Amino acid sequence: MAQTTVKIYTPTTPIWCPGCGDFGVLASLKKALSDLQIKSKDTVIVGGIGCSGSIHNNLECYGIHSLHGRLLPTAVGVKLANPQLTVIAAGGDGDGYAIGAGHFLHTLKKNPSIIYIVMQNGTYGLTKGQPSPTAQVGYEGNVDLPFDAILTALSIPSTTFIARGFSANQAQLTDLMKKAISHSNSNEGMGFLEVLSPCVTYNDTYKEWREQVYDLSTEKDYNPHNRLLAFTRVSEITNQGKIPTGLVYSGRVKSLEENTLSKEKGPLALQDISLESNLPKYEQILNDFR
Amino acid sequence: MATTLEQQKPAEPMLKQDICIMIGGQGGDGTLTVVNLLGSCFRNIGLNVYDARNVLSRIRGGHADGVIRASTEQVLSTGDQVDVLVAFDEEAVQAAVNELAPDASIIFDSSKGQLSEKFGGMGLRVVNAPLGNMAASKLRRNIFKNTIAFAILGRLLGLEDDLLIEVLRSRYERRGKEALDANMQALSLGSDLAKQNNIRSIYKIPHSEKSNKILATGNEAVAYGFLVGGGRFFVGYPITPATDIMEWLAPRISKLGGVVKQAEDELAVINMGIGAAYAGARVMVATSGPGQSLMTEGVGHAGEAELPIVVVECQRVGPSTGEPTKNEQSDLNHVVYGSHGEFPRLVIAPGSAAECFQLTVDALNLAETYQLPVFLLLDQALCQNSESILPFNLKSIKVERGKLLSQSDLEKIQTYKRYQFSEDGISPRSVPSLEGGQSQVTGNEHNEYGLTSVDTTNRLRMMSKRMKKVELAKNELPRGNNFGRKDAKIGIIGFGSTLGPILESMEQLKSKNIGVRFQQIRTIFPLLVEDLIEFSDPLDKIFVVENNYQGQLAKMIRSALGRNERIESITKFDGTSFKPREITNAISTSIQGKLEMGV
């Protein structure tokens, strides 16, 4: 809750169909933010386009609804301008892995300290059920094998946090969400969390997914800090027709802010940019024209 | 060795108040270095300079040339003719032949043979000198031929050895002893060559005290204007001719605590910019036509979401990949009309480096005051040609942030609505981290709280709230500059880099007893129609000068003015800037034609 007396907007009721996996994501997200005591004034949700991309309307914090596929660059812009914020990009798999696929790869490569939640359901629900990049073969005439974002993320050397949850497993999902947020809020880079979030109307996969999910944490030898072993094990499990969930990988690579931002000056969005405060530096730079 | 055509040389050096020199060869020959060295010489002796480059879109090879003009007066074009040409090959002579003055001098690199006889009969003075061979044999690297040429050029222009040495030293000193020594050697080789072959000064260049003027391209002026205007977040993707802005900013913005980020494509550029602007940073992005095509959706998004962002569009020859390094002004329609749907935007067009600086600051202030995207429209010539100008005036700068809220402002508010309806259409803007300013920002149509809405009454109100900001901004937009005689019946309208050629053409027309007025338009959208009417009402004839095929500005002006039979387009779309004489000829021919028909 806001701590001042200013009256602000009332979060809306989600637009989702009853039983939609996205309800589980919203519930986990609210719980994670509340458990971690992250202030609403310092939280920015960047929504994508699609059913899941309206999630920013359902919480009380700052929200920006980006263009289709562009939530990641938008979130990176917010974070670079003010790294003190908790920046959470949330959208669907069509948004992230199809129209925004270029940004997906490059944002993983940059490793900004943002959280990226992808609600994947194998379908473009809002436009009534076309196959999305994660659609299973045979769904609505889809002939392509589904895109595996976890293996893709593992193959990019600068990724630092990769996890997969299932909206029907709240305890695990909330735990992963908290871990992802804590990772990013320690400025250690991008917390990437893919959530299996079924579309009950156009691609109801609850039944199949309940049978297929495989919690990596149940495997006592699984080492989420070894990229190569993680890649091998995740591939094996996937090839057995299972869907690995849990913390897949976490590691240490310098974050985008560490590599980019000035340490002394504070958030650039909040700097004093008046002429008077900066005049000596401006005059010094003017000498470059002489 | 070198030969001079002594018999063609006048006994006394010719006084030149205004001289134009071209250096031509293959990309990688170092032609632009000679232009820069000459520029420093001329500035050191108190002259104004203007230089332009003509390069291909490749790293090495292909014809490339640079032109520098020095004058006792301020000039903003390379003028009509070249007085001295340094040619590293015959292709460079061929490329320049239509621009050479009838009595021009050529320093020709005769390493592969003397300049072809066919150029001999043109009244040109030719110095054949084996520049490349000499560099290769004495300094073991062909590239030093440019410094050898610079030495001979200095002699021809009557520039003192001390001046050449000083300029060479200040350029190469910071690049290490080896580079400096080799270039100094090349310089003395060149001056020995000139002495041995009795090359004397043909020209006398007036000297005066070095002025306090600085040298800047439009791109550099935009970049500096961005810093001084409080810009702290720049995001770009490499594209000619806009890249210079990013490269100039990168090492400097960090001193101010800001960031230059190179993104993966222009879709990321505009959206990263939008994210940073949303968080409260002053943001600018820069691109050329192809990048603008990718950014178009994002600009509309900024318009709908009411976010302040400055987009620099450095026009080049289009469409598609077009001619990346060449000049054109054909993206007017693109920036004025581009996008689906309707949203408020402003399009501002400076015409000189000094204006690039001031209008960038204005653009940042306008974007934030009116919470909308502002285009700064440049063209390749304005972006990349250098001008000597008075130092940018920092005292005149004001940073205006409009209705940006602080924490204490928010504490006085009862209900915060990001898109609150207001008298002027502008709503108070909170940014993340402020308590009580939590809100939604979106490209969906929305209600005052920023929540999605398809309510018809709300849609009508929100559209007019946004669109009326453009009308409101009109009072603050850069007005046109008027030049020439108020009683003239003939007018010229132009924008961007045509400013210089048009001003010189006006002088030429004056000497033909054709009096003209000229309005340099600085706001392309919305057109400041009242100013245009005031300017054009007394005119019988209006020439709209622009570098494109369709006469895009002329069409916009026709839709704003009456009596359109008066309006005639003068267009050029061959990739090069107008020469003053081309405008003069077009106007005088048109008027003569009318006179003959008894009009």
Residues forming CATH 3.40.50.920 domain(s) in chain B: 481-596
Residue A87 within a domain? yes
Residue A119 within a domain? yes
Res. A2: pLDDT tops 50: no
Residue A240 within a domain? yes
Residue A16 within a domain? no
Res. B109: pLDDT tops 60: yes
pLDDT of B245-266, one tens digit each? 999 999 999 999 999 999 999 9
Task: Read off the pLDDT of each residue in B325-351 and give the average, rounded to a whole number.
Answer: 97
Domain count, chain A: 1
- At a CB cut-off of 8 Å and minimum separation 6, what does A203 contact? A121, A122, A123, A125, A129, A135, A139
> Using 50, 70 and 90 to split pLDDT, how confident is the model at B55?
confident
**Which chain B residues have a beta carbon less than 8 Å from that of A260?**
259, 261
Query: Whole-angstrom Cα distance, residue B321 to residue B300?
Result: 23
Task: Read off the pLDDT of each residue in B151-162 and give the average, rounded to a whole number.
Answer: 96
Q: Is the ipTM of this complex over 0.95?
A: yes
pLDDT of B358-385, one tens digit each? 999 999 999 999 999 999 999 999 999 9
**Which chain B residues have a beta carbon less than 8 Å from that of A62?**
432, 437-439
Domain B481-596 has CATH 1.10.10.10: no
CATH class of B3-204: alpha beta
Report angle CA B383, B389, B392 to the nearest 5 degrees.
Answer: 85
Residue A115, Cβ neighbours under 10 Å: how many?
26
Task: Read off the pLDDT of each residue in A183-205 and give the average, rounded to a whole number.
Answer: 98
Residue-level pLDDT at B599: 42
Please tell me the distance in Å from A43's CA to the nearest CA on chain B: 7
Please tell me the distance in Å from B109's CA to the nearest CA on chain A: 32
Q: Give the structural domain span for A46.
A: 22-257
Please tell me the distance in Å from B79's CA to the nearest CA on chain A: 24
Classify domain B215-396 by CATH number: 3.40.50.970
Residue-level pLDDT at A4: 63
Average pLDDT of the residues of chain B = 94
Task: Read off the pLDDT of each residue in B188-198 and give the average, rounded to a whole number.
Answer: 91
Task: State which residue of chain A sits closest to B261, comparing Cα positions.
Answer: A260
In this complex, which of A40, A103, A273 lies closest to B438 when CB atoms are compared?
Answer: A40
Residue A86 within a domain? yes
Residue-level pLDDT at B5: 45
Mutate to test the interface with A, among B248, B253, B435, B445 (most CBs of A within 10 A): B435
Residue-level pLDDT at B185: 96
pLDDT of A29-79, one tens digit each? 999 999 999 999 999 999 999 999 999 999 999 999 999 999 999 999 999
Q: Give the CATH number for residue A48.
A: 3.40.50.970
pLDDT of A101-141, one tens digit each? 999 999 999 999 999 999 999 999 999 999 999 999 999 99
Residue A263 within a domain? no
Task: Read off the pLDDT of each residue in B178-194 and give the average, rounded to a whole number.
Answer: 95
One-letter-per-residue 3-state SS of chain A? CCCCCCECCCCCCCCCCCCCCHHHHHHHHHHHHHHCCCCHHHEEEEECCCCHHHHHHHCCCEEEECCCCCHHHHHHHHHHHCCCCEEEEEEEHHHHHHHCHHHHHHHHHHCCCCEEEEEECCEECCCCCEECCCCCCCHHHCCCCCCCHHHHHHCCCCCCEEEEEECCCHHHHHHHHHHHHHHHHCCCCCEEEEEECCECCCECCHHHHHHHEEEHHHCCCCCCCCHHHHHHHHHHHHHCCCEEEEEEEECCCCCHHHHHCCCCCCCHHHCCCCHHHHHHHHHHHHHHHC
Residue A267 within a domain? no
Residue-level pLDDT at B237: 98
Look up residue B321 and give its two tokens.
Answer: 């990949």
Residue-level pLDDT at B121: 66
Look up residue A132 and give its two tokens.
Answer: 């999305």
Report angle CA B196, B200, B205 to the nearest 5 degrees.
Answer: 145
**Which chain A residues have a beta carbon less than 8 Å from that of B411?**
4, 6
Residues forming CATH 3.40.920.10 domain(s) in chain B: 3-204
Mutate to test the interface with B, among A5, A6, A283, A284 (most CBs of B within 10 A): A6
Task: State which residue of chain A sits closest to B281, comparing Cα positions.
Answer: A269
Contact A231, A155 (CB under 8 A): yes
Average pLDDT of the residues of chain A = 96
pLDDT of B117-154, one tens digit each? 888 667 788 999 999 999 999 999 999 999 999 999 99
> Using 50, 70 and 90 to split pLDDT, how confident is the model at B6?
very low
Residue-level pLDDT at B4: 46
Residues forming CATH 3.40.50.970 domain(s) in chain B: 215-396
Residue A268 within a domain? no
